[in-house]
Amino acid sequence: MHLPPRPSLPGVRRALLLSLLCSTAAWASEPAHAPPPEATSHTGGHWGYGEAVGPAHWGDLPGATTCATGKEESPVELVTANTTPDTHPAPSFNYRPSRVRMVNNGHTVEFEYDAGSTVRVGEKEYQLAQFHFHTPSEHTEDGVHFPLELHLVHKNTSGGVLVVGVFIKAGSVNRALDDAFHHLPWNKGDHSEPKGASINASALLPKNKAFFQYHGSLTTPPCTEGVEWYVMKDPIEMSDAEIASFQRLPHLNPNNRPPQPLNGRTVYLHASTR
Ligand SMILES: [Zn+2]
């Protein structure tokens, strides 16, 4: 997905188009409370998943050249047959319940997680900050896109980011998410906090904790690299109705960045079922 050098005239035309789009209400600037899904810093431009502002153009955004030039970008195609057996420590999850506090930031619905839930890998501990969804899945597993992919975003005190990805397939009702998914915030900027609702992110992990692990990036501008990815091999389930309730939100279907080249990176497979 690397962009070839562009002649200047189309670039100017595109910049003009972007500025026109960005001047309309639909492309109004990001509210301060709604950062991009996995970002710790902000890009100055406007982006999305549609033709004019989609992933192929993200590298043109101010501060987001990594989206076009990065060599360790996410998502990627996860192919079991090409993985290396993992000998690194598995993540140890210490998740507590959190209030359900959702925001539609125009790129996804983000669940802001109460402080105090962590994941530990070796000596490093990361706080669960938020989780959110993409449709269809951003990673693929053995060539398959799932209808949804959940990203649990963790940060440590030195600015490190660790994301746990969980594929979601159609199946049984997901009791942990059902109440929240009946109250998804509809429009960009909307918040939803169903009264008394709580969730424990442990319920969002598959029973079998086998996972793919690789070094990647944020999947949204500015596509910053240095992100530790742990993608669970087994999917969890949600009902067709629950999946549809996310997919019918305006402007969020699709909201997936396509798979990026591996460029020689190793993808590990940790097969332990602990
Ligand atoms: Zn994400």
pLDDT of residue 95: 98
| β-bridge pairing 148-155 and 161-170 | antiparallel
pLDDT of residue 17: 37
CA 138–ligand 1 middle distance (angstroms): 8
Which residue in 166, 87, 157 sits closest to 129, CA to CA?
157
pLDDT of residue 221: 97
Find the angle CA(257)-CA(262)-CA(264) to the nearest 5 degrees: 170
pTM (2 d.p.): 0.84
Going from the first residue of the chain to its last (274 residues), give the mean pLDDT of each consecutive group of 10, the final group possibly shorter.
41 38 33 41 73 95 97 98 90 97 98 98 96 98 98 97 98 98 97 97 97 98 98 98 98 97 98 64
Walk me through the domains of the chain, giving residue ranges and CATH numbers: 66-97+110-172+198-236+252-270 (3.10.200.10)
Which residue type does 195 have? K
Contact of 169 with 137, CB cutoff 8 Å? no
CA 133–ligand 1 middle distance (angstroms): 6
Q: Which residue has the tokens 């060599």?
A: 71
Residue spans of beta strands (DSSP E) within the chain: 77-78, 84-85, 92-94, 97-99, 102-104, 109-112, 118-121, 124-134, 140-141, 148-155, 161-170, 191-192, 198-200, 211-217, 225-232, 236-238, 268-270
Rg (CA), the chain: 18
pLDDT of residue 34: 40
CA 150–ligand 1 middle distance (angstroms): 7
CA 71–ligand 1 middle distance (angstroms): 19
CA 204–ligand 1 middle distance (angstroms): 15
Q: Which residues surround the ion ligand 1 when the cut-off is CB under 5 Å?
A: 37, 151
Distance CA 254, CA 257 (A): 9
CA 129–ligand 1 middle distance (angstroms): 13
pLDDT of residue 2: 45
